[in-house]
A and B are shown apart, each in its own frame.
Chain A
């Protein structure tokens, strides 16, 4: 019986599409600024096509069914393209929800003499369209999340520069909190920098790290140990008084590591280790 109804809906495709387009232009929420009318019409007709082609009596209740894939794919790509055009998720969802009205109206025309059946099917169709709307929302959010994670990756990459301060001395100023993911990037960049330049001393400057907790300290110790394994020495510099306080209060033992208060003293230590000397030279005045 549901099959008949779905066939009935399919036969009323043109009417549904027409009704939907009418509803859209009359909906006050919906602003038609972004798309031309023709574009919208072709988009909508495509969606109605795919919807009516993929719907059947089984997947009306089972949204995870595989024959709904064309529909979910189309809705996802539609949502993404509309998001790029500047539609708000509300607008896209409203766009899909207005289709419900058109579908229900067609349904009402098909079953005019059996109120209980009409009620049952109304609920089913309504839930089905709601699900499509939610899918569009989900796609929107996933898209946003992808952008955010991509940006944070880029930030992690940007904020870990390896600087060659002297022949044989590398420095890496760390700005922002060290978490596990960033430690990985810091370590990789630092170690690769050591290999590339053949440096034997690496200075890790943490003046830009707002707070050092036990986790950050653990990451620092890891980095220092990894540098040692490579055969280079790692100095931690930029230990501000607040950091020293928290480190000692937390009972973190950094005594095995070479730590300096400023980058300057770390550099001095490095010069000393490499047996270099920096002197003031009197300029000849002429």
Chain B
């Protein structure tokens, strides 16, 4: 989607799949020179500390590659689990659904001073 990447996680991720996702995603960010990554986890009902860390990692990696990460559609049970596990995912932006996540990314993009000089090529 333009300069944004949209990832929807449709199945409960087991560890290896999560690692593959992390790798693929970060490659895609590089290839497309993405400015934003939107991860939709609304179908995810179970999360463990590993998964929490993967999400945190993706956000961290994207940010040093100058892309912002927004996690959208987190289920209440997942949020509570992450908090109870002591993983508040600091540095990750969140939104209620994909629509609002997009709006958030767009508003953050327009707030960037170097936006025009950087992303106009394609």
Contact = CB atoms under 8 A, between A and B. Distances in A.
Contact of A229 (B82, B97, B100, B101): B82
A225 B80 contact: no
A6 B95 CA distance: 75
Contacts of B80: 184, 187-188, 191, 226
Interface in B61-105: 71-80, 82-84, 88-89, 94-97, 100-101
Interface string A170-211: 000000000000001001100110110010100000000000
26 contacts: A184-B80, A187-B83, A188-B76, A188-B77, A188-B80, A191-B76, A194-B96, A195-B76, A200-B100, A222-B84, A226-B76, A226-B82, A228-B94, A229-B78, A229-B82, A229-B88, A229-B89, A230-B74, A230-B96, A231-B72, A231-B73, A231-B95, A231-B97, A231-B100, A231-B101, A232-B96
Contacts of B71: 229, 231
Contacts of B79: 191, 226-227, 229-230
Nearest to B101: A231
Contacts of A192: 76
A200 B74 contact: no
A215 to B, nearest CB: 15
Interface residues of A, number: 18
Q: Is the interface of A mostly helix, strand, loop or mixed?
A: helix
B96 A231 contact: yes
Contacts of B88: 225, 228-229
Nearest to A190: B76
Interface of A: 184, 187-188, 191-192, 194-195, 198, 200, 222, 225-232
Contacts of A232: 96
A198, A225, A228, A231, most chain B CB atoms within 10 A: A231
Contacts, number: 57
A200 B76 contact: no
B97 A198 contact: yes
Nearest to A229: B79
Contact of B94 (A187, A198, A222, A231): A231
A58 B48 CA distance: 51
B42 to A, nearest CB: 10
Closest 3 CB pairs of A and B: A191-B76, A231-B94, A231-B95
Given A195-B96, A229-B78, A230-B74, 9 more contacts: A191-B76, A195-B75, A226-B76, A228-B94, A229-B82, A229-B88, A230-B96, A231-B74, A231-B97
Contacts of A188: 76-77, 80
Nearest to A189: B76
Given A198-B97, A200-B100, A229 B83 contact: yes
A235 to B, nearest CB: 16
Nearest to B94: A231
A230 B100 contact: no
A195 B77 CA distance: 11
A77 to B, nearest CB: 38
Contacts of B72: 231
A184 B97 CA distance: 24
B94 to A, nearest CB: 4
B37 to A, nearest CB: 15
Contacts of A194: 76, 96
A195 B42 CA distance: 11
Contacts of A225: 83, 88
A184, A195, A227, most chain B CB atoms within 10 A: A195
Contacts of B77: 188
B82 to A, nearest CB: 6
A232 B94 CA distance: 8
A230 B42 CA distance: 10
